[in-house]
Chain A
Amino acid sequence: MTIMNVDDSSTMRRIVTMSLAPSGHQVVEAENGADALAKLKASPADAVVLDINMPVMNGLELLKAMRADPALKRIPVVMLTTQGEEETRNEAIGLGANGFLAKPFQKEELLAVLKKVAGI
């Protein structure tokens, strides 16, 4: 399965990739919402792991743009959150986020939430 990994932190992108690649997933990285949107339009992924706070286009803006695009609206999205983002989390639920995972997360937790929301 192909998973889009969107985070402005190269460290976090690498952590997510290292968590998913050993399970056989192909991971495509993007460093912000705009970068991810362009890559998704070129080649849709099976699921998206999305950070919230990012420059250029943040996670909520990307989520909104995806849900407005007929080609991308059904892609499951797992939001990566940190403590103190409850309001943002509620906003993400309203925009159609499928799952949440609080940082720091265990590899198994990421795989479990992806399996739950995307069946992969």
Chain B
Amino acid sequence: MPLVIIAIAAALGIGFWLGRLSFGRAVSSLTAELSALEGRARLRDEEAKAAGSRAEASEARLAELRLSLDGVETGLRELAALHGQLYARAPLHDRLLDLVAKKSEAAAFALMDEVSAISSRLSATLAEANGFQRKLEADGSVGEIVADARAAAGGEMKSAEELLKSSKEIVAATRRMRELVEGSMGMLKDIEDVSERSRLIAFNLAVEAARIGRHGLGIKVIVNELSHINDKIIDFSKTAAARLAENRDLGVRIADEVERGIADVAARIHEGSAASERALERLIAGAEGMGRLVSSLSSSFAEARDGVDAMLVSLQFQDITRQQLETVRWSLAEAAERQRAALGDEGLRRAAGEAPEEFKRMLYAKAKVQDEKALIMEGAR
């Protein structure tokens, strides 16, 4: 009995503990499930909140899109009006583009032709100047040339002075010769006087010989011979004196002429020397001027060449711009064609007529020359 009771008690105890264990497990399981349910519920709440946010964001985005679409629609309408205006004014734009490009190109090419012609002339002149300079350099520097010329002029001057000195010596010798001639003429006169006296003596002897008769015949022959010799001496003396006088006069004239010539030549030499010096100074100045001219021409030539090069580049820019404008013009024309297809002629006319005044004022303000302004006014009408 007690064993039974004990057994029952033990069984009950075991059952209690087993039941407690099972209940605990069930409670734990239930608790875990509840936690999971709570987590899912939170997740759903969060998802719901996120969905709400997304919905709000979507609505906001939709509102933005609607605004954008409105903007696009407005823009398209404005674009249609602009296309219409541009299409209506395309001929005016074409003429403006052509006018501006042709005018500026014609002016630029005309200027470049002129600059090229001037450059060619400058180039030719520069080549000549450079050739001259090279020649100067080949011959030596201008300073050396001048120094050589001065040395040569100095040598010539020295030679001329020596010549003058010799000429003066000749004049002096001529004058001494005149004195000698005059001395000789005096001697001839003395000889002539002696001869005259000798003839007188001979005459007296002849008279004396005639007076003594036959014994004087020998004396008479000697006297005759003496008279004859005397006559010859006198004739010779006279002739010689005359010739000497002529020579003396000639010598005097020559001496005078040479003296005058010497003075003239000396003056000319001095004048020539001064002229040579002036010429050399001018040569130096000319060479320096040529150097400056060559330098100036070189600078001008370089500037002209740079100017032409810059203009060539500018014209390329203009040509590229013109081509791009043509491309834009073609695009606009195509757009206008599409616009016309979409709007019809009436729609285009209506769009083109909508307030082009602002556009016209803008073009008019940018117009550079009267022709363009006139064209704009013509196009605006």
Contacts and interface: CB of A to CB of B under 8 A. Distances in A.
B16 interface: no
Interface stretch (B30-38, B152-160, B309-317): B309-317
Interface string B284-321: 00000000000000000000000011001101111110
Most central of A9, A18, A107 by chain B CB within 10 Å: A18
B271 interface: no
A81 to B, nearest CB: 11
A105 B316 contact: yes
B167 interface: no
B108 to A, nearest CB: 9
A23 interface: no
B116 A104 contact: no
A108 B309 CA distance: 9
A105 B322 CA distance: 17
A53 B116 CA distance: 30
B320 A107 contact: no
A9 B323 contact: yes
Contact of B316 (A22, A53, A104, A108): A104
A15 B320 contact: no
Interface in A68-120: 82, 103-108
B105 interface: yes
B5 to A, nearest CB: 106
B316 A12 contact: yes
B109 interface: yes
Contacts of A58: none
Most central of B112, B315, B317 by chain A CB within 10 Å: B315
A11 B319 contact: yes
Contacts of A106: 309, 313
B314 to A, nearest CB: 8
Interface residues of A, number: 16
A11 B318 contact: yes
B80 to A, nearest CB: 29
A19 interface: yes
Given A18-B116, A104-B320, A11 B315 contact: yes
Contacts of A14: 109
A12 B313 contact: no
A115 B105 CA distance: 29
A103 B320 contact: yes
A19 B317 CA distance: 15
A8 to B, nearest CB: 9
Contacts of B315: 11, 15
Most central of A12, A15, A105 by chain B CB within 10 Å: A15
B366 to A, nearest CB: 22
Interface in B251-294: none
A109 to B, nearest CB: 10
B101 to A, nearest CB: 8
A12 B312 contact: no
Nearest to A7: B319
Nearest to A10: B105
Contact of A82 (B109, B308, B312, B320): B320
B317 A104 contact: yes
Contacts of B319: 9, 11-12, 15, 103
Interface in A1-38: 9, 11-12, 14-15, 18-19, 22
B98 to A, nearest CB: 12
Given A11-B315, A104-B313, A18 B112 contact: yes
10 contacts: A9-B319, A11-B315, A11-B318, A11-B319, A19-B312, A103-B316, A104-B313, A104-B316, A104-B320, A108-B309
Q: Which 7 residue pairs are nearest across A and B when measured between Cβ atoms?
A: A104-B316, A11-B319, A104-B313, A15-B312, A103-B316, A107-B309, A9-B319
Given A14-B109, A19-B312, A82-B320, 9 more contacts: A11-B315, A11-B319, A12-B319, A18-B112, A18-B308, A103-B316, A103-B319, A104-B316, A107-B309
Interface of A: 9, 11-12, 14-15, 18-19, 22, 53, 82, 103-108
Interface of B: 105, 109, 112, 116, 308-309, 312-313, 315-320, 322-323
